[in-house]
Every structure is written in C-alpha cells, then in structure tokens.
Structure 1
Amino acid sequence: MNHIRNLHTDENPEYTACEHGDDYPEREWLQSGTKVYDKLREEWLRTRLVNGIGMMSPHAQTSKVESFHNILLHFCPKLLVYSYQGMKCRLYLAVLHWNENCDRAQAVDAEGNPVYRLKYPRSKEGGHTVERVLTAGTCGYVKALMRVVVELVENREQLRDNMEELQPQPARSASHHHPDNGEAVQAFEQHHRFGDRN
C-alpha cells in the first residue's frame, strides 16, 4: 500500500523497500484518507485475497514435496507390502534418486533456446498452462551403489566377523528361569483346567 502513495520504503524487515529503481515514470499518486485510497485498501486487504497471495508465494508451495512422494511411490507402490528392511532400503533409493535429480536445469533446443510445453490440468477445465521442460533424469547413484556392493562382497568374511562382534548378547541371569515349551504348555493347561467344567 505504500507504493501507490509514493512511499517506497517500509519498516517491515521482510520488505524494506520496493524492488524497482528510481527511473520509474512520473504519475499521479494516491493520497491517504481519500475515498479512492480507502476503497482500494479495503479491497486489497481482504482476508481471502491476502491468503490467496500467500498460497501463490514460492515459499508456501508443496510441489517439491509432492514430487518426492511420486518418486517414493515409484520405488514402493502402496499396493505392495514390504518388510521393514525392504521399505527402509526403498526409501533410501528414493532419496538417492531425488537428491540427484531434484535440481535439474531447463532443457534447451538446438539453437540454445529454453524449451516449454503446454499442460492441460483437470482443474483448468480444458484450459492450459505453460511449464518448463527439464533435462532428462540421471541414475548415477546406481554405479556408486554397485561399487559399494562389490566391495562388501569382496570383504564379506571380514564384515561377518565385525558384525558378530557388534551383535549384543542376550542378558540372562541365574535368577530367571525360562521354562521350555513343555513346561509352558503344562502351566497353561493347569491354569485353564481343560476339560474341567462345573
């Protein structure tokens, strides 16, 4: 609201000044307290409009999160069931793939011009939007993983010894007696008295 009154600085720490330079053309500025200014201020500061502008801000977009979820669903679809370790490994793969491809540059044509394409989202009801075409994704992390796997296989004996040393030993003491299966069954049958009905 300051700009339209020819005030181009503000005490707001996020927007301390207008981004334009000093070479803007002369114009007739609005004055505070006038009917036109008050009506315009009322319209511009409506809650619905302010919230909508906030949603348009790049700082409030969730498109990156949604893109990562699409990558995650590629590696572990919801229709399939995985063990905990399987799910964990697939999550790691999704993260590796995302980290390698999340900041791809825009593709260019043979003449060096940036490439765009038309997109027809359902929300536009037949309308279209223009979006950038990115360079093709890469999977360089696969070679790095294969090198690690080969190293692990070559050193599996040493790794097996190290893993056995790291395995925690179960804590047992002489004061705790764990009955075997037979003793457990007998205790269960005595407690419930199978076949003994009053």
Structure 2
Amino acid sequence: MEWEGSQSQVASRKFIVSETCLNKLLSKCSTCNKPVVVDKIVKGCLLVCTKTCSYCNETDTWESQPTFGGLAEGHLDLSAAIMFSGSTTAKFLRALRFAGISCFNDSTFYNIQKHYLSPSIEHVWKTHQNKLINDIRGRGSPLILGGDGRCCSPGHTAKYGTYSVMDLDSGKILDIQLVQSNEVKNSHAMELEGLQRSLSFLLDDCKLLISHLVTDRHSSVKKYMREQQPDIIHWFDVWHVAKGIYKKLEAAGKKKGCEKVKAWSRSVSNHLYWCVASSDGDGEMVKQKWLSMLNHVADIHEGHGDKFPRCEHGILEDRLWMKKGFKPHAELAKVVENKLLLEDIQKLSPAQQTSDIEAFHKVMCSWAPKSVHYMHTYMESRSKVSALHFNENARRDTRTTKSGVQQYTISYPKSRKGEPVVKDVKTEQTFGYITDLMVYAKELRLRNTSYRMASEKKKSKKDHYHWHRVPQKDLIYLNQL
C-alpha cells in the first residue's frame, strides 16, 4: 500500500494551540451559530472534540490531527522526531509535560520505535548503503578504507563497540558493525570483531576489491591484518601515534629537571606528521627523519643517516636546546627510540588518515551519547541514523561571503588545552534523509495497522535485525517487549 502525497504531509506545518483559544473556536454551532456543549477526549497528543447543539440538534466531531491506521499522526511524528534527532525519550516527554502540552507516555514511544522506526532506519540505511557500494563498483578502482572503533562508554567497561568503516576517497561511512562485549572474550576484542565483520561484508558479500586499510595501532588488528589479510596493505593513522607521543612527552616533562621536554613536546609530535608526509611511504626514510629529532634538539643538524643526512630547515634562531647525556635528552630519547614505535612509524599512512572517522564518532555522540544506555537494536538504529546524517553532510564546502571570500573562525579545542586553532566555517547542514525516514515509517504504519501485525511481519523476516548477532539474553528480552 503506497501512501500518496507522503512527502507533502511530512512537510506540513503543525501548531501548538492553547485550550482557551480552542474553546473560543469551538464554542459556537457551525450551523446556527448558537452556543454548544463541547465534550473533549484526550488520547495522548490527539484531541477529539464533540460539539452538541441543543437548538438545532446538530452533532459534530472534530479531531486535532489525522490518523494513520488508527494511530494519531502526532504520536508517530513526535516519536520519529525523538529518535531521528537523537533526543532522549524521558527528557523530551518531560519537557512537554513541564510546558503543559498533552502527549503520549513512554510505552507508546517504545512500541512505535520497535515496530515502525527501527525498521524504517534499517530500510533507508540499506538503500543508502547499496547506492554507495554501486557507486564504488562504478569507479572501477580498488577501495581505500579507513576503520576505527568506538566504545559506548569510556574505559574498559563498555557494553557495546561500534566499528565504522569509511571509504576514504569519498569520506562516507560504508558499514557499521555493533558488537556486544559478551559476544567476544572481553571488551578489548570488540574492535577486531567489528573489523572482521565489516571486511567479511565488503569482501565476501559485496565482492569489493580493497587495496589499503588505515587504522590505529590496535595490537590484535595488526596481527589479524598481517596473518589473515596479507593482500590488503595495512597503514596506521598518524594522528593516533602523534597523540600518544605527545601525552608521553607531557608526562615526562613533569619530572623534576625535565621542563625542556615539555617545551619540545608539541614540536616533536608535529615533526612526526612532516616525517610521514615528506617520505612518500618509504618506511626507512620516515624512521631516519624521526630519529633526527634527537640530534636536532641538541642543535646538531647533520649526520642523521644515509637517507636523511642533514636537516632541511634554514638558519634557526636560538632555542631551548638540550645537551646529550643529560636527563632531559635521555627522557626524550626513551620516547623517540621506543622499539615498538620505531617499527610502527614505518607503516604510518603517507596520505589518507582516519580523521574523518574521528569526526563521525563525534557526530555519533549526538545520537548515541556515551552517558546513555540503549538496547542492542536501538543502539544499532541510532548509529545508522548518525551515519546517514554524516554521509549527507560529508565534506561540506567552506561558507563564503557575498563577495566570494571564504569564512574562517578561531576555536579553542579541549584537545589543544585552549590553544587557538583556525577552522573554516562550513555551509549549513542538510537533513534530507529525515524525509525518507518519516515517509517510510508512515508507509509501514499503513501496511501494518496494529502492533501485532507489525510484530508478525518482523518475525517473518528474522534477518531484518541481524538476530544472529544479538546476544541470546538480549534476544529473549526483545521478544518479551
């Protein structure tokens, strides 16, 4: 059953009307214009008014909103708005109650979410994902992927791990895998499991050719890619490594007599970016350029190595130089010459990085904040809505003035401890995917005019929610809802 005029109905305006103003509107008979008796029935956010005129014996019934298969439009619209916008149910309904606005209770929302909203998200996401994959096939070139995991809460006590895989050429999320900690041996293993599922989907199901993968330095991921996926070139993201180096240098700089290490910490971590970007993937060159820092901080600018014999900078002004053999230089050398670090910096990605995936994880926090717990199905649904939003707004253009000048602003990010950073001002975000979600949710309600019908339809498609991936205890609980 197709719903005609669906997009126009989704876009139609709604208004908040005070009851006193509504009484004035309904107080007279529409036939004889005499005073009438008005009986009101409130069903959530639906108001049904019956006017009875004692003069002309006319009875008229007026409803404040249309219905879809017996369900008030406002119930479906507001429930969809809660989930699709990333709001929390309790706060949203509490805000309406504080404002004196009649609305449904939370059980109504959970029924609508279960039977109409989550299936709508799954459908729209699958449609969008298939289009992305077909576009990649049309390009005819091997895929360069970026991958990274996100836990649902800080620390090592996370219940869920979300692994996101991005096409680094287009900057769009290709796949999201949600892993629960009791599906694997511990929460640390969720990242590898998520990557394995994504690669299985892209390689085996979609038959895509993957040439490169850029990730962080997760130990089990390194081993898996080395032993199980030798045909895919595995790179490490520079930002993750540079961030770790900076933290270690900051900690070393707090030791007595090591203030110079702290003064050099930002320059040393920034130096890693230059080493990688200027070496064209030559791992040995990266290593020699990196180790040259130990000479450079001691005001020695030659004799670094056979591939990189001397520094490329010009004449330098006097700086806070270190002396070899003294404590500050020794503390710096412990970090710079770390054996594992020297192995891994040779595999740092010279071009594509995972910074866009980090940006996506920040977007995901708007739909699935780490301070709020969701059940497996709804955590997965909210993650996919965030991916739809991110993909629609990926790599937006820089905003310009009327004269065509690009606009920039200064921010003071927490990661930089208040240091100013210049950023370009992006064009406004768009939300076209919301219309698709709203339309499909209403079409589902027209096809399944009761929760029972929707539940039976879902049971006939058990793979709709990937039930084989949901832990058994959650599956039992979901079936009881």
Higher relative contact order (CA 8 A, sep 6+): 2
- Unaligned 5+ runs, structure 2: 1-278, 283-301, 313-335, 464-481
Match of 1:120 in 2: 412
SS of alignment partner, residue 96 of structure 1: helix
Match of 1:136 in 2: 428
Deviation, structure 1 residue 42: 1.8
Q: What is the distance in 2 between the residues matched to 1:163 and 1:95?
A: 24
Match of 2:310 in 1: 43
Alignment of 1:149 onto 2:441: yes
Structure 1 residues 108 and 123, CA gap change in structure 2 (3 angstroms) = same
Match of 1:186 in 2: none
- Give CA deviations for 1:19-41 in whole Å, capped at 9, x if unaligned: xxxxxxxxxxxxxxxx99x8993
Q: What is the distance in 2 between the residues matched to 1:166 and 1:123?
A: 45
Q: What is the distance in 2 between the residues matched to 1:68 and 1:95?
A: 8
Match of 2:368 in 1: 76
Match among 339, 349, 352 for residue 59 of structure 1: 352
- Larger strand fraction of residues: 2
SS of alignment partner, residue 435 of structure 2: helix
The one-letter amino acid of 1:106's match is T
Structure 1 residues 68 and 166, CA gap change in structure 2 (3 angstroms) = closer
- Give CA deviations for 1:78-104 in whole Å, capped at 9, x if unaligned: 111111111111111111111111121
Match of 2:386 in 1: 94
Match of 1:4 in 2: none
- Unaligned 5+ runs, structure 1: 1-11, 16-34, 169-198
- Give CA deviations for 1:23-66 in whole Å, capped at 9, x if unaligned: xxxxxxxxxxxx99x89932349999xx59x67x5523x32111
Segments of 4+ in structure 1 off by > 6 A? Answer: 12-15, 45-48
- Across the two proteins, how many residue pairs are aligned to each other? 133
Q: What is the distance in 1 between the residues matched to 2:370 and 2:398?
A: 31
Match of 2:320 in 1: none
The one-letter amino acid of 1:59's match is Q
Q: TM-score, normalised by structure 2?
A: 0.24
Larger radius of gyration: 1
Deviation, structure 1 residue 157: 5.6
Structure 1 residues 43 and 124, CA gap change in structure 2 (3 angstroms) = farther
Deviation, structure 1 residue 120: 3.1
Deviation, structure 1 residue 149: 0.6
SS of alignment partner, residue 118 of structure 1: strand
Out of 149-158 and 135-144, give the one that drifted further.
149-158
Structure 1 residues 124 and 43, CA gap change in structure 2 (3 angstroms) = farther
Identity over aligned pairs, percent: 24
Q: What is the distance in 1 between the residues matched to 2:394 and 2:429?
A: 9
Q: TM-score, normalised by structure 1?
A: 0.52
Match of 1:195 in 2: none
Q: What is the distance in 2 between the residues matched to 1:151 and 1:142?
A: 14
Q: CA RMSD in A?
A: 4.1
